[in-house]
Amino acid sequence: MSFGYGARSAFRNLTIAVLLTTSSVHAQTVTIAALGDSLTAGYGLQQDDGFVPQLQAWLDGQGADVRLVNAGVSGDTTAGGRSRVDWTLTPDVDAMIIALGGNDYLRGVDPATSYENLDAILAAGQAAGVDMLLVGLDVGANYGADYEAAFEKNYVDLAAKYEVALYPDFLAGIRATVDTPSELTALLQADGLHPNPTGVGLIVADIGPFVLTLIGATKD
């Protein structure tokens, strides 16, 4: 087959367009930073058993084109997350999961202080132009009913303020499957605080659809 100059030029332009389109398709991979504490980091677990690796595998199984970045630090409070959110939001990050507050509760941090820190984190995400999923916690009444209500309300109010999706309770996937303390113990590590691999799997299965929605919003 022979091509005249015009035909060769058109063919070349078509080839370039195809290559650019293919490159654009490959560039659709969504990068999500999971900013959190030991629950996100995978404390006490083998690398593949942690929250981020299990969530990555779950999303891969759903056909999602996504790369998760584990930005969890064991022992981190909302203040710690606030101090490192700027360098977590690297230029390649498209979205962020914010799962902080558990250590604030364990230490009895004033809910107003936790609110300020989470507010700053969400503001940083908004300034960076990333989509976000805020993950809350259903806590106990160790510090009284007023503390419990204020702590949990932080997440509701901030999700509304920044118009981001809220997953109300990181441990919802576990709570939904247990009726007795012994059943709960079977899903936790020996410390009674952190989920074991099976518990993490339940968490991932429950939060996974919310992360899929986050991916879809990021691609829109």
Q: Class of the 30-219 domain?
A: alpha beta
For the sheet with 66-72, list strands across it.
Answer: 66-72, 30-36, 95-99, 131-135, 165-167
Mean pLDDT of 8-22: 46
Among residues 76, 114, 194, 206, the one annotated as catalytic is 194
pLDDT value at residue 28: 85
Among residues 38, 76, 94, 131, the one annotated as catalytic is 38
Query: Which of 20-24, 138-142, 180-184, 216-220 shows the lowest per-residue confidence on average (mean pLDDT)?
Result: 20-24
Q: What is the pLDDT of residues 46-86, one digit of tens each?
A: 999 999 999 999 999 999 999 999 999 999 999 999 999 99
Q: What is the pLDDT of residues 102-124, one digit of tens each?
A: 999 999 999 999 999 999 999 99
Dihedral angle computed from the Cα positions of residues 210, 213, 217 and 220, in that order, rounded to the nearest 10 degrees: 170
pLDDT value at residue 1: 43
Q: For residues 138-170, b (16+ Cβ closer than 10 Å) or e, as one string?
A: ebeeebeeebbebbbebbeebbeebebbbbebb
Q: Could you tell me the pLDDT band of residue 220, with boundaries at 50, 70 and 90?
A: confident
Q: Judge whether 37 counts as a catalytic residue.
A: no
pLDDT at 148 over 50: yes
Q: Judge whether 194 counts as a catalytic residue.
A: yes
The fraction of the chain above a pLDDT of 90, given in percent, is 85
pLDDT value at residue 102: 97
pLDDT value at residue 181: 86
pLDDT at 186 over 50: yes
pLDDT value at residue 149: 98
pLDDT value at residue 21: 43
pLDDT at 15 over 80: no
Cα separation, 32 vs 64, whole angstroms: 12
pLDDT value at residue 14: 46
pLDDT at 23 over 50: no
Q: Judge whether 191 counts as a catalytic residue.
A: yes
The fraction of the chain above a pLDDT of 70, given in percent, is 88
Judging by DSSP bridges, how do beta strands 66-72 and 95-99 pair with one another?
Answer: unpaired
Judging by DSSP bridges, how do beta strands 95-99 and 165-167 pair with one another?
Answer: unpaired
Mean pLDDT of 123-129: 98
List the domain boundaries for the chain: 30-219
Among residues 2, 179, 191, 220, the one annotated as catalytic is 191
